[in-house]
Structure 1
Amino acid sequence: MVKLTTLHAAAALALAGSAVARHSSPRLHNRQSSGSIMESDYSNGATPPGARPGDAAGQTVVIDNDGGHDDNSQRNGCPTIFIGSAAVGGSFSTGWTDMPQVLGFDTMRDLTVGNNVVQPYIIETGKDASKIKRVVITQPGLPRDYWKYANLVRNSLLCASVNSTMGVNTDEILIAAPTWFSTNDASAGSAQSNDLVFNGGNWATGVNSAGPNGEAISSFEALDDLVNKFFDKSTYPNVQQVVIAGHSLGGSFTQHYAMLRKANSAQDGMMSYFIGNPGAYVWPTSDRPIPNPGGNCASTADEWGYGLQDLPPYGNGQGSASSIASRYYGRNIMYALGLSDNEAGDSHCEAQYQGTSHLTRGQNFQKELQSANNGNVPSSQQFNYVPNVAHEDYLIFSDPNSQHFLFAQGSSSGSSSSSSSAAPSSTGRGRTSTSSSGAQQTGSTSQSGSSSSPSSGSSSGALSLISPTSAVSAVLASSAALLALVL
């Protein structure tokens, strides 16, 4: 039976936030105003730290009672601020009219991926490249809203940075996000004449671009080049981990990339993939859980996008489907799934062979991994089932198990008391955890008491209730921003 560590975590963080607020004098409040990340130091609509002239509208401090369910507020129990998403002109269907200046990020055009072809991306500003140990590269959703997802992951990092069990040092973590422009964005004005552009959502499956100037370049190739930039020791000498992270269509993109990314012996052990609530999966075998879902796509259900047949040009020379699947089984992956995510997901006929919703497709994919690996999820992969969360981006990214995978797992400065250090399941391989809306869990395979999770077992909580004084001490010790309070 899962222990109720949720209350412990939420209480500790809430006590920390309220204690800081109670002990803040006006002079201390003024000293915090330029750099504090604590919600107690702000009012709704206030200007966040790091704001610059030219930042797009909408990026103010959001303080409300939605608890993250609107993807535009901080999750319950976390005392740090939530920074709102940038406002952008145009639309994802007609094209975005501009690249917003994202608060705390710089827009970069120094990545050349073809013959005078540029892949723009954004990157956190003001961080010392020599101190960076981990880079989290976020992917957009269906609207190509890279600014939103970089911001969501940044808000989750702020939250994680004051959780003493995480051991997160924000100075050592860098968030970046590529822009996957469509031809509509070029027409609307956000993409420049030499920027890489794709037809519609083709960026999400790694097929070749639609230009510019007739250039045919896979989004996977462009992402390879971005990853290489962060592994370049001349610029980032201490990078230990690069995490590719996405939710919804961004989760599908991440899973597609993890499946087809070319082997790289120098990098593969330092690569991780965070796959949140994808609409559908690339299935590693020709088996499907739903044999006759209807429709007339039986002949294409195993083609690329849903299976390993008829690969795009990026997949040329990568061997047989079984060898690609075998390589995939060795990759470090977290699948983060909301236990209330009953949305239909990808509506294409081919996706119906995988299940009827985001959740059931994820559960079926876990069973497929077990079936293909002697009854076990591969030891380098884990499923994180998040209770009381539907298709909600921020609550998936800011779940403590997710935070540990994104920001701490595999880092020398990261805490070991979290899901990444969980004891093997009863099968001895793989992990399944069920988060408890604030509990960081360790131990063998666990579930929430719902039949939704395909595995069962026991778990133990890694967070324990601490006194208000201890909570404040832990928060002050774990956040560089908060150290300014006592200087």
Structure 2
Amino acid sequence: MAKALIKYALTALLLCTGLAGAQAQESGSSAARKAVPKIQDGWLDVRAGEGQGRLPIHVSRDWSQAQPAVRRALIVVHGITRDDLLAGERAAAKVPSAADDAIIITPQFLIAEDVAAHQLPELTLRWGVDDWKAGFKAQAPAPLSAYAVMDAIFARLLDRQLFPNLQSIVLAGHSAGGQYLQRYALFGQGSALVDQAGVRLRYVVANPSSYAYANDLRPLAAGGFAAADASQCERVDRWPYSLSANLPAYARKPLDPAALMRRYLAHDVIYLLGEEDKDPHHPQLDKSCAGEAQGDSRLQRGRYYFAYAAQFPRDAAFKQRLFIVPGVAHNSTRMFGSSCGLAALFDEGRCTTEVAAP
């Protein structure tokens, strides 16, 4: 039996041996490299030790003025094509109370093609097509991590002169956006500031193509987990698939992967998976050997990661949850606008298809 399990693990890792690097991540679709048709209507200034830059952003309220009515902030991170920008607002439109007490924030992480096509100012931040979702440095105008953007948004929301009554922040991302925030939750510096301010923080990870594991364990089809063989697939044990190596400069060092995972497990995280997001040949699915080692489809990979998180040694009770959205595949608007999506984003109703932790 043990030999069969090991054989399966090696098979998963070898599936993509020899594939070109261009197929390595979710950007395998040429659509990811096309310039976006629309740039968000606002700008966010981002400053860190490496310099400064600006990022397009849409905010549903004027956050340059005090907003005492706001009690909930929803931040939505788009997918790899950077043009699915309305899912958060469409979901909010289904919740009557959101019009009175919520602010919806949608940043836009651009690549060089976007900046050139729209002739944007030189101060516009731009990343490699795969780099922004993994927290790597911008190509220009300053080497700022994409995670520093979320820190800047948190800092604005935690300004009590602007938001004196803010009670909760929900950070949601679909597809590549889900990858971005699942990894940000591991060592994002802004989350500690949210905790210190006494504001509730939730992460809603929707249909990501892959996850960051703390160690070299990967799922087995027959159940359980076994160590992956990095000699057969080097990237399986490197960021953004693992905390073992190649972490972005944003991550403060030295780092203990197990301690980071325990910190992550203390967060309120909802894994929001589409019941029909199970196509192993989806054009934007990560088909690298490191991605395939996590499962055949987004649905399977999410289920496996939830099981992995539930069995990982932790310091407190496990409070992360898995919601399955019936009848929905890879669609951000339908995911967030579903009954499970509204429960995750706005605590509106409940998700009747929640999966119990193993």
TM range (shorter): 0.7 to 0.9
Give 2:310's aligned residue. 370
**Equivalences for residues 115-264 of structure 1 within 5 A:** 115-125=51-61, 129-145=67-83, 148-149=84-85, 151-161=86-96, 168-189=97-118, 191-212=120-141, 215-262=142-189, 264=191
Query: Residue in 2 aligned with 1:281?
Result: 211
CA deviation after TM superposition for structure 1 residue 95, in Å? 2.1
Q: 1:116 to 1:355 in 2, by over 3 A?
A: closer
- In structure 2, C-alpha distance between the alignment counterparts of 1:180 and 1:123, rounded to whole Å: 15
Q: 2:301 pairs with 356, 361, 369, which one?
A: 361
Q: State how far apart, in whole Å, the 2-side matches of 1:294 and 1:285 are.
A: 12
SS of the residue aligned with 1:142?
A: coil
Which AA in structure 2 matches 1:372? F
Identify if the C-alpha distance between structure 1 residues 388 and 373 changes in structure 2 by more than 3 Å, giving closer, same or farther: farther
Q: Would the alpha carbon gap of residues 361 and 378 (structure 1) be closer, same or farther in structure 2, given more than 3 Å must change?
A: farther
Deviates more, 1:383-392 or 1:284-293: 284-293
Aligned AA for 1:177? Answer: T
Task: State the SS of the aligned residue for 2:269.
Answer: strand
The whole-number CA distance in structure 1 between the counterparts of 2:260 and 2:190 is 10
Cα offsets for 1:445-471 (capped at 9, x unmatched): 66xxxxxxx85xxxxxxxxxxxxxxxx
TM-score if structure 2 supplies the norm length? 0.79
Aligned match of 1:389: 328
Letter in 2 for 1:401: C
Distance in 2, matches of 1:116 and 1:358, equals 35
Deviation of 1:111 after TM superposition, in Å, equals 4.5
Hey, what's the Cα distance between the residues in 2 that align with 1:346 and 1:175? 29
Task: Give the fraction of aligned pairs with identical amino acids, expressed as a percent.
Answer: 23
State the partner residue of 2:289.
349
Is the alpha carbon distance of 1:118 and 1:282 closer, same or farther for their aligned partners in structure 2, counting shifts above 3 Å?
same
Q: Deviations over 1:374-407 (max 9, x none)?
A: 8x99532100012222222222101223212212
Tell me whether 1:405 sits opposite 2:341 in the alignment: no
Measure, in 2, the Cα distance between the counterparts of 1:220 and 1:122.
18
Q: Distance in 2 between matches of 1:222 and 1:143?
A: 18
Structure 1 stretches lacking a partner, 5+ long: 1-90, 101-105, 162-167, 409-414, 420-432, 436-444, 447-453, 456-487
Partners in 2 of 1:258 and 1:264 — Cα distance? 8
Task: Note the C-alpha offset of 1:323.
Answer: 0.8
Distance in 2, Cα, partners of 1:116 & 1:289: 41
Unaligned runs of 5+ in 2: 1-30, 221-225
Q: Give 1:196's aligned amino acid.
A: L
Q: CA deviation at 1:373?
A: 3.9
Give the deviation of 1:306 after TM superposition. Answer: 0.5
* TM-score normalised by structure 1 residue count: 0.59
Which amino acid in structure 2 is aligned with residue 383 of structure 1? L
SS of 2:293's partner is: helix
1:150-206 deviation digits (Å, cap 9, x = unpaired): x21111111122xxxxxx342210001112111111221253210111122210000
Letter in 1 for 2:290: E
Q: Relative to structure 1, is the Cα distance of residues 242 and 352 closer, same or farther in structure 2, using a 3 angstrom cutoff? A: same
Counterpart Cα distance in 1 of 2:165 and 2:296: 44
Shift of 1:362: 0.8
Q: What is the CA distance between 1:340 and its match in structure 2?
A: 1.7
Give the distance between the partners of 2:316 and 2:119, measured in 1 at CA.
42
Say what the alpha-carbon RMSD is for the aligned residues.
2.8
Measure the CA separation in 1 of the matches of 2:183 and 2:241: 9
Task: Write the distance in 1 (CA, Å) between the matches of 2:317 and 2:209.
Answer: 22
1:92-128: CA deviations, max 9, x gaps?
523236525xxxxx51345545634223311014686
Pairs aligned (count): 312
Q: In structure 2, how many angstroms separate the alpha carbons of the residues matched to 1:110 and 1:129?
A: 20
Q: Cα–Cα, structure 1 residues 96 and 263, in superposed 2: closer, same or farther, change >3 Å?
A: closer
